[in-house]
Amino acid sequence: MAVQGYDEELLSEREYVDGLYARLDAERAQAKRRYSAALRGNGLSPMDRDVEVRTLATEVKRLDVADNKLCFGRLDTVTGEHAYIGRIGLLDADDDYEPVLLDWRAPASRAFYVATAATPENMRRRRQFFTRGRQLVEFTDEVFGRPGAGERGDAALLAAVNAPRGEGMRDIVATIQAEQDEIIRLDHAGVLVIEGGPGTGKTVVALHRVAYLLYTQREQIQRHGVLVVGPNSAFLNHIGRVLPSLGESDVVFTTTGDLVPGLHVTAEDAPEAARLKGSLKILDVLAAAVADRQRLQREPLTIELADVTVRIDAETAQWAIQEARESGLPHNEARRVFREIIEWVLTERAIARIGKGWLTREDREAWEQLRGDVVAELADNRDYVAALDELWPILTPRELLSSLYSSTERLCAAGADETLWRAEGDAWTVSDVPLLDELVDLLGAHETKDDSAERERRAHAEYAAGVMDLMTGREDSMDDEDHLYATDLLYGEDLADRFIERDTRELAERAAADRDWTYRHVVVDEAQELSEMDWRVLMRRCPGKSCTVVGDLAQRRSAAGARSWDTMLAPYVPGRWAYRSLSVNYRTPAEIMGVAAALLAEFAPGVRPPESVRASGVRPWSRRVEEDELSSAIEEFVREEAAREGTSVVIGPADVPGAVAASETKGLEFDAVLVVEPERILADGSRGAAELYVALTRATQRLGVLHRGPLPRALAGLDEVVSGAV
């Protein structure tokens, strides 16, 4: 395209983009006006008002996030028609609501990402925009068929991968590649596994898949939301902007350590303990630990009542335990059965002794009256309550597990070895989370006064909701004996206001605080680290088994993690999980990936490294330092990188000043990375090799290595430099 022709086209495209922003501003203003009116009530019932407020709040958010890169390209068909592709869809209200901007997730937008010269999808040209704020700066054209002069088809992608990294992950909505788009739009209702080496974009592809599913299945997904599980809080902070930037906020971000609300992980298990806790074999240990607390006493327990003394003997306790267990109820709920058996035996014995000589079973009224008196006396008797607590105590998951870990006797009784013993039973680890979650179901609820009040409140709410259902047109569902009186109509709305507590929190906030919340879709990142027990927790939270699983088996560091996807997934979705792989590395330049690939060949020789899409022209380097030089060498790296644009990190063992562990950088990316003492990282066997592989592949531009001992053989490809030559 000639310079003059390009300038004219650029001016025309700028006018079009300016028009899109004007339309966006108008829609945003209208949505905010409607939102304000809804907050004031606008003549709606309280329930309808809540629905309207939430719907409009979502719309306002959708329009607010569209400001950045609203439109990022244009598609021209072979017939001369064209369509603009953008972050959201916009319609022309003055032209029968014709689309002036297509949402990137719409079926008609697919060709923008997948059309190639070999398969042009009936397209003639793909035009990609480069913007700064709201200003269109330039564009590039990729012509399918016979290319024109000056074509720069991959300019947008290369600009994105070479750009300095900021504080968080950016969306790739403008530069999605064909293999990524295929996965994002894949029509699969079960579990989808996306595997790829470092830098292949598997995480951001999974997040864009969530945005796509929310676009195509919003009604099914929105009410329950989406759960995204990542390896650590730094990773979640890194990826947390992607979905909001795509207009999606009904998403809960959490780590496996946060799946039990209110729990704080403060320790880390040794590999053997983590392996045992992560195995399904631990289920037998937990069941045995619960059964161990349902104990037979060695001696009869004496209960002194006002008129008689009764005893709980071993035979009675054994009968009560058997009946309670056979009820099939969780431990705490089965205590009611246990108590009823004990109570029946004790009252029968007490009545027989108190009424000896004057009371017979034929006198049922007197017998039952006396039974009521004895039951009431037992309920107030400290010894009786203490006996119940000794034989069948009310337990919480944390109490049970803490007391199990800190007692070799209880561990032995539960069939576990001393690998699980620790002095501080409540020093929780990530591996404890699925066990605590499992115990919630094994133990069941126990009712307090607060629970009773909550149950009463819910009953009132259900009644009020029933009245409101009748008021809103559901009279046809009434049975013959149901009647709707005028007073119901008159006071129904007031009743609802009194008893239905309106939860105004966002869905994500409500879901994160509720252990029993179930999600319509779950995304699991760094999934190779999850144990069999972790998968039980997640599948419990996703009854529909709709998941996007992201990982790389070569990067597994957990002793309890996945060695194959089928082993972990087949028990839950046999025949319903699909596998897709990503093979192109968009993050790591070829110079750095060559070094990482040499390490990969040593500890995972069957794994093929991803192919880097670019070279940076900067060779990764290593430098040997003495112990007294290490700190100054690290400071030198930090100082030099601070003067550059972008981000940097120092990765090394825990005792290296200023360094973070490789596991804390999983899923993250930095312009520059300094790896300190790789020989010590490697000393941790296969786990250490995986951690070093992670460390080497975090850099998008520059990689340096400081070592005190001999440089590991796998890193021989690094350029050795001397002090001051970096």
Nearest to 204 by CA among 152, 163, 161: 161
Are 151 and 199 contained in the same domain?
no
Segment among 108-112, 238-242, 360-364, 369-373 with least mean pLDDT: 360-364
> What is the SS3 assignment for 333?
helix
For residues 203 and 184, the answer to whether their CB atoms sit within 8 Å is no
Are 209 and 173 contained in the same domain?
no
Are 172 and 46 contained in the same domain?
yes
Are 366 and 332 contained in the same domain?
yes
Are 566 and 595 contained in the same domain?
no
How sure is the predictor about 1, in pLDDT bands with cuts at 50, 70 and 90?
A: low
Numbered residues of the known binding site for ATP: 196-203
Q: Among positive and negative, which fits the CA dihedral 150, 154, 157, 163? A: negative
pLDDT given at position 59: 85
275-310 burial by CB neighbour count: b if 16+ within 10 A, else e?
A: bbbbeeebeebbebbbebbbeeeeeebebebeebeb
Q: Is residue 471 predicted with pLDDT exceeding 80?
A: no
Q: Is residue 575 predicted with pLDDT exceeding 90?
A: no
pLDDT given at position 489: 43
Q: Is residue 461 predicted with pLDDT exceeding 70?
A: no
Angle (deg, nearest 10), helices 433-443 and 331-354: 40
The CA dihedral of 548, 552, 558, 564, to the nearest 10 degrees, is: 80
For residues 214 and 221, the answer to whether their CB atoms sit within 8 Å is yes
Segment among 47-61, 64-78, 458-472, 511-525 with least mean pLDDT: 458-472
Lookup: tokens for 31: 């949505």
pLDDT given at position 37: 86
Classify residue 572: in a domain, yes or no: yes
pLDDT tens across 375-426, in order?
999 999 999 999 999 999 999 999 999 999 999 999 999 999 889 999 999 9
Lateral strand order in the sheet of 90-92: 90-92, 98-103, 82-86, 71-77, 123-132, 135-143
Question: Tokens 């246990």 appear where?
Answer: 338
pLDDT tens across 696-718, in order?
999 999 999 999 999 999 998 89
Classify residue 139: in a domain, yes or no: yes
Are 444 and 570 contained in the same domain?
yes
Split into its structural domains, the chain has a count of 4
- State which residues form the domain around 335: 294-391
Q: What is the CATH number of the domain that holds 708?
A: 3.40.50.300
pLDDT given at position 480: 45
For residues 176 and 148, the answer to whether their CB atoms sit within 8 Å is no
pLDDT tens across 192-231, in order?
999 999 988 898 899 999 989 988 988 888 788 899 999 9
Q: Is 584 left (phi over 0), alpha (psi -120 to 50) or beta?
A: beta
pLDDT tens across 176-191, in order?
788 888 999 999 989 9
Classify residue 282: in a domain, yes or no: no
pLDDT tens across 90-112, in order?
998 777 889 999 999 999 999 98
* Average pLDDT of the residues in 626-630: 92
Numbered residues of the known binding site: 196-203
pLDDT tens across 259-293, in order?
998 899 999 999 999 999 999 999 999 999 999 99
How sure is the predictor about 118, in pLDDT bands with cuts at 50, 70 and 90?
A: low
Last residue of a domain, which of 391, 414, 449? 391
* Average pLDDT of the residues in 426-433: 96
Q: Is residue 46 predicted with pLDDT exceeding 80?
A: no
Classify residue 398: in a domain, yes or no: no
Question: Distance from first CA to last CA of the chain, Å, rounded?
Answer: 44
pLDDT given at position 578: 96
Backbone angles phi, psi at 671, to 5 degrees: -65, -40
pLDDT given at position 164: 62
Classify residue 408: in a domain, yes or no: no
pLDDT given at position 116: 74
How sure is the predictor about 543, in pLDDT bands with cuts at 50, 70 and 90?
A: very high
Are 309 and 175 contained in the same domain?
no
Are 243 and 302 contained in the same domain?
no
Q: Is residue 122 predicted with pLDDT exceeding 70?
A: yes
Are 265 and 302 contained in the same domain?
no
Nearest to 692 by CA among 724, 721, 666: 666
How sure is the predictor about 32, in pLDDT bands with cuts at 50, 70 and 90?
A: very high
pLDDT tens across 506-540, in order?
777 888 888 899 999 999 999 999 999 999 999 99
Nearest to 562 by CA among 578, 551, 546, 547: 551
Q: pLDDT over 90 for what percent of the chain? A: 56
Lookup: tokens for 718: 């690094």
For residues 480 and 368, the answer to whether their CB atoms sit within 8 Å is no
Last residue of a domain, which of 153, 185, 217? 185
Are 636 and 605 contained in the same domain?
yes
pLDDT given at position 162: 60
Are 48 and 173 contained in the same domain?
yes
Q: Is residue 450 predicted with pLDDT exceeding 70?
A: no
pLDDT given at position 387: 94
pLDDT given at position 517: 92
* Average pLDDT of the residues in 20-47: 86
Q: Is residue 235 predicted with pLDDT exceeding 60?
A: yes
- The continuous run of DSSP H or E covering 283 comes out as helix 282-292
pLDDT tens across 597-618, in order?
999 999 989 888 998 888 889 9
Rounded CA-CA distance 538/226 in Å is 12
Classify residue 357: in a domain, yes or no: yes
pLDDT given at position 93: 79
* Average pLDDT of the residues in 435-458: 71
**pTM, two decimal places:** 0.77
Last residue of a domain, which of 581, 606, 636? 581
* Average pLDDT of the residues in 453-475: 50
For residues 403 and 410, the answer to whether their CB atoms sit within 8 Å is yes
Q: What is the CATH number of the domain that holds 573?
A: 3.40.50
pLDDT given at position 8: 92
Classify residue 288: in a domain, yes or no: no
Are 596 and 573 contained in the same domain?
no
Q: Is residue 23 predicted with pLDDT exceeding 90?
A: yes
Rounded CA-CA distance 182/201 in Å is 13
Q: What is the mean pLDDT of the chain?
A: 86
Rounded CA-CA distance 285/265 in Å is 22
Classify residue 402: in a domain, yes or no: no
pLDDT given at position 412: 96
